A and B are shown apart, each in its own frame.
Chain A
Amino acid sequence: MKNINLGRNSLAVYATLAITFLMIPIVYTIAFSFNDSGRSNASWVGFTFDKWLNVCADQGVCAAVSNSILVGVISTVLATAIGTAAAIALVRYRFRFRSAVNLLVFLPLATPEIIMGSGLAAQFFNFGIDRGLTTVIAAHVLFCLSFVVVTVKARVQILDPVLEEAGRDLYATPSKVFFKITLPILMPGILAAALLSFALSFDDFIVTYFNSGPVQTFPLFIYSQTKGVPAEANVVSSAVFILAIAIVLTVQVRSSLRNAKLKKLAK
C-alpha cells in the first residue's frame, strides 16, 4: 500500500516538475516585459509598466507586428477556406486518387520547415518572383493548410449524415442544408483550425526567413536583433500569450460546464 502511494506521488511530482520546466521560459519572457531596460533586455534592471504603455516606442516592433498580423489573417482565411473544403471532401466523398490526396496533405507535416522554406525559395528564385509579403503569405498558407485539413477532418468524422438527410427530407435546398446544418456543426472544428493557423503563422520563423525578402515579420525582427531584443518584443509576445490562453480556457470551461449540465439532465 505504501509502495503504491509512493509510486503515485512520485509520478505527480515528476509531472509537476515537467510542467514547471515548460513554464520557466514563459514566466521569464513575461517578467522581462516589465523590465526597465535599455535597448537590450538581457539583464534585470527594474520594474516598469513603460514598455506595456509604449509598445511602439521601438519602431521596429510595431511595424513587424503589423506585418505579422496581416500575414496571419490572410493566410488563416485562405488556408481555412481551402482546407475545410478539402476536409469535407476527404471524409464525406469517394473519388479517384482519394488516398493519394490524403497522403499529399499529410506530407507537409512530415517535412522539416527548412526544406519547405528552401524549396519555396528555390521556386520563387527560379521563376524570378521577388520575395515579399505575397511570397510569405503563399508559404504560410502551405503549412497552415495541412493543419486545417487534419483538424477539420476530425470534426467532419463525428458529423452524423442523418442530420443532413433530415434537412433534405424537409425540403431544404442543398445550400440551406449546408449553411443551416453542416457548417454550424463543423464550426468548432473550423474555429480551432483557424486559431491554430493564426498561431502557427504568427510564430513562424524558419519558412518565413527563406521567403521574406525585405519584409520583416515579428519573429524575423526578433532574430535580427543580434545585439539584444528590446523589451517591447516581450510585451507583444506576452500579450498574445495571455489572449490565446484566455480564449482556450474560456472554451474549455464553457464546454466543461455544458457537459456537466448534460450529465445532470441525463440523470
Chain B
Amino acid sequence: MAIASITRANKDAKSRVTYSRVGLILVAPALAYLGLFFITPFVLLIMTSLGQQSTSGLNQTFSFGLNFANYLPLVTDNLENVLRSFGYALIASIGALLIGYPLAYFIGVKMRHRPMLQRMLITLVIAPFFISFLLRTLAWSQIFSNSGPLLGFLQDVGIMGSGDRLLGTPFAVVFGLIYNFVPFMTLPLYTTLEKLDIRYLEAGSDLYASPSRVFTKVTLPLSMPGVISGTLLTFIPMAGDYVNASKNYLGGAQTSMLGNIIEAEYKNFNYPVASALSVGLMALILILITLYVRKVGSEDLL
C-alpha cells in the first residue's frame, strides 16, 4: 500500500514535469483568444468611457481623456433606468426561482424512478433554447397586445378595466424576463436536486419534522449551490437585457432599462457615454454579486 502510493506519487511528479509544457501549449490558443477579445475590449471599454465626445460636421468622434462626466447620467438622467434594471432583474429572478424550484424538484427528485420520463421532461425545459429568443418574446407580445386574446378576456371577466393595457407595462417586461430565463434557473437546480440523497429527507420526517420543516432545514440548505448558480445565471443577463423592455417587444416608454439606454446611445454614435453606462452596469453587477454571495455564505463559488 505504502509502496503503491509512493510509486504513484513519483509517477505524478514525473508526469507533472514532463507534461507541464504540453498543458500550456494546449491552453495557449484559448488564453490568447480571451486576452485579445475579452481582456483588451474591457480595457478599451473603460478607456472609451473616459473619452471626450466631439462633433465635426456630420461625424461624431471622440478623443481619449479623463472625462468622468460620462458617468454622471448613471446617478442623474438615467438613475431611474438603473433602478429599473436591477428592480426588474430582482423581481424576475425571484419569479423564475418560484417557477423553477418546484419544477426542478419534481423532475429531479419525484421522477427518479422513471429515468426515461425524467429525460423527456428536462428536454422540454431546455426546448425554448432551440427556438428564436426574439420570436418567443414576440409571441408573448402578440398574446398581450391590445387586440390580443388575453387582454379581451381579462376585460370581459372584469379583472382589468377597458382602459387598461398589458403591453408596455412593467408587468409585461418582468413577465418576459421570467419566461426567457426560467430554463437558466431550472437547469442548475435540477443538477443539484437530481443528486440529492433522499435518505436525509426521510431522516428528517422520521424524527417527526413537518414537511415544511424538512424543506427549510434539509432540502433547501442542501440545494443552495443550485439556488446560487441559478440566481446568478438569471440575474446577471436580466440586468443587462434590453430586448424584453424594448418598445417593439414587451416594453413601452415607461419601462426603459439601462440596456435600452446603452443601445440608444450606441446607435447615436455616442460611444463614450454608452461605454460609461456599460462599465457602470458591470461595476454595479459585480458589487451586488459580491454582497449576495457573501450573504449566502459560499465564497468558494466565485
Indicate whether B74 reaches chain A with its CB closer than 8 angstroms: no
Q: Which of A86, A222, A226, A259 contacts B29 (CB 8 A)?
A: A86
Within 8 A of A (CB), among B122-153: 123-140, 142-143, 145, 147
Closest to B126 in A: A248
User: Are A43 and B30 interface neighbours, CB within 8 A?
Assistant: no
Bound complex: CA A222 to CA B138 (Å):
10
Could you tell me the distance in whole angstroms from the C-beta of B199 to the nearest C-beta in chain A?
A: 18
Where chain B touches its partner, the secondary structure class is: helix
Bound complex: CA A266 to CA B31 (Å):
44
User: Are A85 and B27 interface neighbours, CB within 8 A?
Assistant: yes
> What residues of A have a CB within 8 angstroms of the CB of B275 in the complex?
118, 122
- Give the B interface residue count (CB, 8 A): 85
Known A-B contacts A25-B179, A229-B135; the reply to A126 vs B37 at CB < 8 A is no
Within 8 A of A (CB), among B239-290: 239-243, 248, 259, 262-263, 266, 271, 274-275, 278, 281-282, 285, 289
Closest to B233 in A: A109
Within 8 A of B (CB), among A105-160: 105, 107-108, 110-116, 118-123, 125-126, 138-139, 141-142, 145, 149
1/0 per residue, CB under 8 A from A, across B108-126: the answer is 0010000110011101111
Indicate whether A28 reaches chain B with its CB closer than 8 angstroms: yes
Residues of chain B at the chain A interface (Cβ within 8 Å): 16, 19-27, 29-31, 33-34, 37-42, 44-45, 47-48, 99-100, 102-103, 105-107, 110, 115-116, 119-121, 123-140, 142-143, 145, 147, 179, 182-183, 211, 232, 236-237, 239-243, 248, 259, 262-263, 266, 271, 274-275, 278, 281-282, 285, 289
Residues of chain A at the chain B interface (Cβ within 8 Å): 7-8, 11-12, 14-15, 18-19, 21-26, 28-29, 32, 42-43, 81-83, 85-86, 88-90, 92-96, 98, 101, 104-105, 107-108, 110-116, 118-123, 125-126, 138-139, 141-142, 145, 149, 199, 203, 205-206, 209-210, 218-219, 222-223, 226, 229, 233-234, 237-238, 240-241, 244-245, 248-249, 252, 256, 259
